[in-house]
Structure 1
Amino acid sequence: MEGLLDDVLRAVLSRIGGYDCAVSEFARVSGSVLPHRCFRRIVPELDHGSRAVGGMPVRVQLLGSDPAAMADNAAQLALLAPAAVDLNFGCPAPTVNRHRGGAVLLDEPELLHEIARAVRAALPSDMMLTAKMRLGVVDKGRALECAQALTAGGASELVVHARTKVEGYRPPAHWEWVGRIADVVSVPVVANGEVWTAADWARCRAVSGATDVMLGRGAVSDPFLARRIRLDQDDDAGVRAAEWALLAPLIAEFRDRVVVKVAAHHAPGRIKQWLNMLRRRYEQAETLFMQIRPLKTLAEIDRVLVSRGILGEPAQHAA
């Protein structure tokens, strides 16, 4: 999730737990081979065994349309020992699609096969290759063909975002198509799309027949969702209050990591961005977001966070 679920937020989610693995933002592949520093900038976890702070494995995602360039970059990436390499055929962003990346390639299953085959050949035999796809560009007519092309090319797991490119993130997600895809390929198929709650997760699994589900925006809005699912825990007011008490110091950690990663004048936007997502599930986040929304500087936001008991005294958290 470009610009949102980066290593900063992965660290927080990994600490909370419940997740089997994470997939990084994409590394954009064009004609050149990216140096190691580019992969490390996107996925600093590569310097720590390809694991986030809490131990969660992080797969590294590549996006591009040239099989040879993708293979060359996969070989370069493999030297850094990622947990796995993932291919992005799911991004619906117009800027990405205009440059022949992401979901727009789903009109070309032959090209998907060439990319997967080239990347698979460039990787060590024991390094996992996975791929994420949508159901198509405009319609779902070639979804099965695309899935078969990717697995025939060497992808050993597929994540299927159960919408087309043009559907973007508009509900509903067509989970039944995940099951149709699973019926025609011989690798595990993971369902993705429109899973915000444990009830959504259960319905998604029932409709799709998938064992595994990938959480995206649902995990950002509800960081305890995966853990709650694992514990088969009710989603009631008492649980929410207990979760917020645990989340408050993690918001402070998020703030501190953001300040290290981005320029100070960009930090307020990142903090507001996550709180804006959190308010979908936590009323405390709604109150906090509305309080900091008009503020322009990190110092102003810090004063609010200190007053709410989320940060220590300002001297301990200098801008």
Structure 2
Amino acid sequence: MRVVLGPMEGVLDHLMREILTNINDYDLCVTEFVRVSDQVLPDHVFHRLCPELKQGSQTKSGVPVHLQLLGQHAKWMAENAIKAAELGAKGIDINFGCPARLVNKHGGGAALLKEPNTIHEVVKACREAVPSHIPVTAKIRLGWDNPEDCFDVVDAIEQAGANELTIHARTKTGGYKASEIRWEYIDKIRQRTSMPLIANGEIWNFEDGQRCIETTGIDSLMVCRGAFNVPNLGNVVKHNAKPMPWDEVVELLIVYSHYEMKGDKGLYYSNRVKQWFSYLRQQYPEADALFREIRTFKKADDIVRVIEQYQMKLAS
């Protein structure tokens, strides 16, 4: 089995990739998307979202990191794919699945599921621009509102020469509702394409992973939201490990809190650690009480102090 740590805009940053790949047997990571419009972006934009480019496009634990691009203009997507490759990206992933309203309003992400021809042009341009040894992959949903549209989209991507495709088994309008998951469509796609596929959506534990494999016929899985609910989800899904106990989660929160975040720490830490708590609370009842203690604080130091004091009480 292969398990991929997927991207989550504004949540799964390089620090989180570092922590989660250090404690899990992930096979691959994909970054948050680099938004491409009508220019070749400067180096610092790529390095900000993917500092792993400076260490061989992999995390410190050795897990390869592929850089994701989002945009609808084939020329500029190709030019930025070239830039990413020159900076050392081990793979280029193209986002056709983001359901965010602002992204879709500007014609990016899942909005392109209504335009298979544009998807074809973007993937083809990137594949032709990037050296052949660097994989060019894509991520999609099943369609905008009709899952039957997935077949035209997949065909467009395959004909464009993509090396692999990740399929989030919901439509854009299906959002993240569990009732909207349609793993069976991934099986139908598998029977129609020769492209390697990765299945994504509603994989929260080992049993979900096994049911997804059984339903789709695919043993490559991507986890995203669940990796925040259960920090060792990669090992849970891949090796049937037990979910990380709460005291180890608290230790991980402190490790995350003490990471050297340079200029980001004061700006983003409090929001991101609170976002993480919103996921942890779904798996660990204890997280709710700790979250109530930190939710009013805005400064990193105050939050870290509360978590450290909590850990001391937990150990006593």
Moved more, 278-287 or 177-186: 278-287
Larger RCO of the pair (alpha carbons < 8 Å, separation 6+): 2
2:115 to 102, 108, 121: 108
2:125 to 118, 121, 127: 118
TM-score, normalised relative to structure 1: 0.91
User: What is the CA-CA distance between 1:230 and the residue it aligns to?
Assistant: 2.8
2:209 to 183, 187, 201: 201
Runs of 4+ off more than 6 Å: none
Q: Does 1:61 align with 2:68?
A: yes
Partner of 1:166: 173
Query: Whole-Å Cα distance in 1 between the matches of residues 299 and 44 of structure 2?
Result: 30
Partner of 1:230: 238
Structure 2 SS opposite 1:264:
helix
Matches within 5 A, 1:71-150: 71-150=78-157
1:190 to 184, 195, 198: 198
RMSD: 1.8
Q: Give the letter aligned to residue 141 of structure 1.
A: E
Superposed CA offset, 1:230-264 (max 9, x none): 3323x4xxx543xx343333212211237535252
User: What is the CA-CA distance between 1:283 and the residue it aligns to?
Assistant: 2.8
How many residues are aligned here?
Answer: 305
Q: Does 1:5 align with 2:7?
A: no
Partner of 1:289: 291
Q: 1:259 to 1:74 in 2, by over 3 A?
A: closer
Query: Whole-Å Cα distance in 1 between the matches of residues 165 and 267 of structure 2?
Result: 39
Q: 1:266 to 1:258 in 2, by over 3 A?
A: farther
1:47 to 48, 54, 58: 54
Query: Whole-Å Cα distance in 1 between the matches of residues 263 and 148 of structure 2?
Result: 43
Structure 1 SS opposite 2:231:
coil
Partner of 1:316: none
User: What is the CA-CA distance between 1:157 and the residue it aligns to?
Assistant: 0.6
Structure 2 SS opposite 1:307:
helix
Partner of 2:274: 272
User: What is the CA-CA distance between 1:5 and the residue it aligns to?
Assistant: 0.6
Conserved 8 A contact 1:251-1:310 = no
Query: Whole-Å Cα distance in 2 between the matches of residues 104 and 278 of structure 1?
Result: 31
Conserved 8 A contact 1:132-1:160 = yes
Conserved 8 A contact 1:90-1:133 = yes
Query: Whole-Å Cα distance in 1 between the matches of residues 135 and 304 of structure 2?
Result: 42
TM-score, normalised relative to structure 2: 0.91
Superposed CA offset, 1:281-319 (max 9, x none): 1233233212212333333322212212379xxxxxxxx
Structure 1, unaligned runs of 5 or more: 312-319
Conserved 8 A contact 2:254-2:304 = no
Query: Whole-Å Cα distance in 2 between the matches of residues 80 and 265 of structure 1?
Result: 27
Partner of 2:39: 32
Q: 1:295 to 1:55 in 2, by over 3 A?
A: same
Query: Whole-Å Cα distance in 2 between the matches of residues 181 and 283 of structure 1?
Result: 39
Structure 1 SS opposite 2:90:
coil
Partner of 1:315: none
Q: Give the letter aligned to residue 91 of structure 1.
A: C
Conserved 8 A contact 1:258-1:270 = no
The share of aligned pairs that are identical, in percent, is 39
Partner of 1:300: 302
